[in-house]
Structure 1
Amino acid sequence: MNYVIATSRPWNEIMVSRLQERIGDTFHLVTHKNGLTFEFLQEIKPRYIFFPHWSYMVPEEIFNAYECVIFHMTDLPYGRGGSPLQNLILRGHKETKISALRCVREMDAGPIYLKRSLCLEGAASEIFLRAATTIEKMIEAIVRDKPEPLHQEGTPVLFERRKPGESNLADAPVQDLNDFFDFIRMLDAEGYPRAFISAHGHRIEFSRVQMEQHKLVGTFVIYEQQNNSDKRGE
């Protein structure tokens, strides 16, 4: 049996070999939208296509022809939309659910296969690694048990995808050290626009923040503003 894992984040790639070893079937890794072609899928005929942290739209011809499973970091239908981790932390959530849902035309509106709990402590990079471990177990459960997805219940709450400019600390909704701590850590992961401030033609980015008594300690990097056209997304 063939399966596909399509992910645009490197921390998810290792799950391919581990799942293949445990389950015994073949898992194909796709890391860019150019690799997820209808011709490729017709050749291998996957039972499921799994999307742990995929940054591209899934073409309709693909999700109509194959069972495509998306993993979303909210307790759906709460939190449909972009930047779920950042939106959750900004709203004060300490934990969430990862929802495994079938891909349909409407964003994050498909029926749910299963949900698993996820702690939101630590930097975004730590949370994503924790989520990858959980998602790997969810993929294994779906492959082994083949659950029938059930329609979402409840009133949807929509999240808006954040823009890189919203990482500017000068405009952020922060009032105390806890707010600064959450704002910096929620953006601290590879491929995300880190929290920053601009001063004297330079951009100062913050990461690796730790809470100590009456202060925050972390790492900063200073870039020349004109050379730092940050196009990282969320």
Structure 2
Amino acid sequence: MNTNTYILATSKPWHHSQAADLLPGKERYVWANNPAELEEIIGKGQNIRYIFFLHWNWLVPEQVWKNYECICFHMTDVPYGRGGSPLQNLIVRGHTSTKLTALRMVEEMDAGPVYTKKDMSLSGTAAEIYKRAGELSFDIIRWMIETQPKPTPQQGTPTIFKRRKPAQSELPIDGSIHDLYDHIRMLDAPTYPPAFITCGEFVIEFSDAEVGEKELKASVRITKKSR
């Protein structure tokens, strides 16, 4: 009897430490951290059942999503919020909670049929939210391996999010103290461009924000602008 292979594709390091405690141990899992590793694994033809894209920074080739059951995890209640930078776009719009959606990849971004949706809080820093999403993703993976569900088409009119650019991490010049807190925390995660301001030749980056009624405290990191 051939054992199924499940590919875990991620570009973020925090998923590796979560997987050991949250995935059933009897299955065969293979990590792909970039497109070259993914191509190499697929080329070995190891009875691949699912490819789970936990957090992926690259376009998935058509020959992959057409020939394998590819599942991505999107941090919105699709079809609302299809597109890029879902966490930041949700917080900017004032959302305090969302759905983590597992859907099958198709040609159009985030438009595929849905396997399941799980409630998820948007409290805390981006790092804490991404960790929460990872834990929910592994819960869904375990459930999918056990139940082999069929996805259902999305219903409703899509709302499309645009991917944010690094320049948008600059602190806003107006708004409330809580708006400023949201701006800092939604960018506070490894590998993400942090909230910042510039002062002459210096760049001041902000993290670890704490908010009160009339004040905000945060850690700062100051570097010189790169030339």
TM-score, normalization by structure 1: 0.92
2:103–2:112 contact (8 Å) kept in structure 1:
yes
Match of 2:188 in 1: 188
How far has the Cα of 1:219 moved from its partner?
Answer: 0.3
Match of 2:168 in 1: 166
Could you tell which deviates more after superposition, 23-32 or 183-192?
23-32
Could you tell which deviates more after superposition, 75-84 or 31-40?
31-40
**Are 1:12 and 2:18 counterparts?**
no
1:69–1:103 contact (8 Å) kept in structure 2:
yes
Instruction: Give distance in 2, aligned partners of 1:124 and 1:96.
Output: 14
1:76-91 equivalent positions in 2, closer than 5 A: 76-91=78-93
Match of 1:31 in 2: 33
Match of 1:64 in 2: 66
Match of 1:116 in 2: 118
Match of 2:131 in 1: 129
Could you tell which deviates more after superposition, 6-15 or 48-57?
6-15
Instruction: Give distance in 1, aligned partners of 2:173 and 2:106.
Output: 34
Instruction: Give distance in 1, aligned partners of 2:93 and 2:174.
Output: 12
The RMSD of aligned alpha carbons is: 1.5
1:17–1:27 contact (8 Å) kept in structure 2:
no
How far has the Cα of 1:193 moved from its partner?
Answer: 0.7
Pair 53,25 (structure 1): closer, same or farther in 2 beyond 3 Å: same
Match of 2:202 in 1: 202
TM-score, normalization by structure 2: 0.94
The amino acid that maps onto 2:225 is: Q
**Are 1:215 and 2:215 counterparts?**
yes
The amino acid that maps onto 1:168 is: E
1:19–1:27 contact (8 Å) kept in structure 2:
no
Pair 39,2 (structure 1): closer, same or farther in 2 beyond 3 Å: closer
Q: Which runs of 5+ in 2 are unaligned?
A: none
Q: Which runs of 5+ in 1 are unaligned?
A: 228-234
Runs of 4+ in 1 over 6 A off after TM superposition: none
Pair 150,41 (structure 1): closer, same or farther in 2 beyond 3 Å: farther
Number of equivalences:
224
**Percent identity of equivalent pairs:** 43
